[in-house]
């Protein structure tokens, strides 16, 4: 009787966020197989019988980006009847954050084999997403919401920036994610009070305006804040 119940499938789906110039992006694949062939979709795969959920997520991320040790968090599981045409498939959604530059440099990506079932992979502006495969629009919305909430209480935003960045880039990142403008002086005061940043001593080069200082973040303090959290109510 229990045996009969082992008839479901479980997948993981990854909402991979990146930040580029001035907007929050999400990495989507164009499906090369049915169902939903030619639709844009979240990268994901079935959880194999011999791996844990996190291992499946890391495998998908590695296949997609060539990168390991990507920041990841489980968000929500979707398993409504009829969400997958081939049977009862539950999908455990996750969001991940990565630096777009790291992605572009990855060898896997250069060999352009983003995933076995994908024709191509592309960054999309998170605010301009059309109709995705399956219930992926819902999943994306859910993960975006989680990111927004997390960014207010943990310094996760930094996962998206290059190693050295300007304060304006940091502010822009927060503005993109939270869809809200901040006062430059108040923003800097707040960031300063966290004592999270280190002045690298370097500045921007060849910009046609006063070059900005480049900062990196203090890993020790970063790990502490990741645990204790903070309050980004600015």
Partner DNA sequence: TCAAAAGTGTTCTGCATACACCCATGT
Partner DNA sequence: ACATGGGTGTATGCAGAACACTTTTGA
Find which of a copy of itself, DNA, none residue 111 binds, CB within 5 to 8 Å per kind.
none
Task: Work out how close the CB of 223 gets to DNA at its nearest, in angstroms, rounded to a whole number.
Answer: 21
Task: Work out how close the CB of 78 gets to a copy of itself at its nearest, in angstroms, rounded to a whole number.
Answer: 8
Residues 6-45 that bind a copy of itself (CB under 8 A): 6-10
Find which of DNA, a copy of itself, none residue 167 binds, CB within 5 to 8 Å per kind.
DNA
* Contact with a copy of itself (CB under 8 A) among 36, 63, 71, 74: 74
Q: Based on CB atoms, which residue is closest to DNA, 125 or 203?
A: 203
Q: Which two tokens stand for residue 222?
A: 């970063």
Asked if 126 and 95 touch (Cβ cutoff 8 Å), the reply is no
Find which of a copy of itself, DNA, none residue 2 binds, CB within 5 to 8 Å per kind.
a copy of itself
The two beta strands, 197-203 and 40-41, are unpaired
Q: How many CB atoms lie within 10 A of CB 185?
A: 8
233 binds DNA, rule: CB under 7 A: yes
5 binds a copy of itself, rule: CB under 8 A: yes
DSSP, res 156: G
Q: Based on CB atoms, which residue is closest to a copy of itself, 87 or 130?
A: 87
Q: How many CB atoms lie within 10 A of CB 95?
A: 25
CA–CA dist 157, 170 (Å, integer):
8
Asked if 135 and 80 touch (Cβ cutoff 8 Å), the reply is yes
Number of residues that make up the chain: 234
Q: Give me the phi and psi of 54, to 5 degrees please.
A: -65, -35
Asked if 200 and 214 touch (Cβ cutoff 8 Å), the reply is yes
Which stretch in 9-17, 60-68, 78-86, 206-214 sits in contact with DNA by CB under 7 A?
206-214
Residues 91-130 that bind a copy of itself (CB under 8 A): 92
- Indicate the SS3 state at residue 122: strand
Q: Based on CB atoms, which residue is closest to a copy of itself, 15 or 214?
A: 15
- Cα-Cα end-to-end distance for the chain: 56
Q: Based on CB atoms, which residue is closest to DNA, 16 or 225?
A: 225
Site string for DNA, 156-175 (x = CB under 7 A): ----------xxx-------
Nearest C-alpha neighbor of 71 from the set 92, 101, 51, 98: 98
188 binds DNA, rule: CB under 7 A: yes
Task: Work out how close the CB of 1 gets to a copy of itself at its nearest, in angstroms, rounded to a whole number.
Answer: 10
């Amino acid at each position: 009787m229990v045996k009969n119940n082992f008839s479901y499938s479980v997948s993981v789906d990854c909402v991979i966020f990146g930040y580029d110039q001035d907007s929050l992006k999400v990495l989507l694949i164009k499906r090369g197989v049915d169902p939903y062939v030619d639709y844009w979709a979240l990268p994901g795969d079935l959880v194999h019988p011999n791996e844990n959920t996190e291992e499946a997520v890391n495998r998908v991320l590695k296949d997609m980006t060539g990168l390991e040790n990507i920041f990841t968090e489980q968000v929500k599981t979707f398993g409504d009847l009829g969400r997958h045409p081939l049977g009862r498939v539950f999908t455990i959604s996750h969001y991940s954050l990565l630096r777009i530059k790291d992605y572009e440099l990855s060898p896997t990506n250069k060999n352009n084999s983003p995933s076995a079932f994908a024709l191509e992979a592309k960054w999309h502006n998170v605010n301009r997403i059309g109709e995705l495969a399956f219930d992926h629009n819902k999943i994306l919305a859910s993960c975006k919401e989680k990111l927004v909430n997390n960014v207010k209480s943990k310094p996760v935003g930094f996962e998206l920036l290059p190693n050295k960045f300007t304060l304006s880039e940091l502010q822009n990142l927060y503005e993109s994610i939270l869809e809200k403008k901040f006062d430059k002086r108040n923003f800097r005061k707040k960031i300063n009070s966290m004592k999270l940043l280190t002045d690298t001593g370097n500045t921007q080069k060849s910009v046609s305006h006063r070059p900005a200082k480049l900062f990196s973040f203090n890993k020790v303090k970063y790990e502490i804040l990741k645990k204790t959290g903070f309050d980004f109510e600015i």
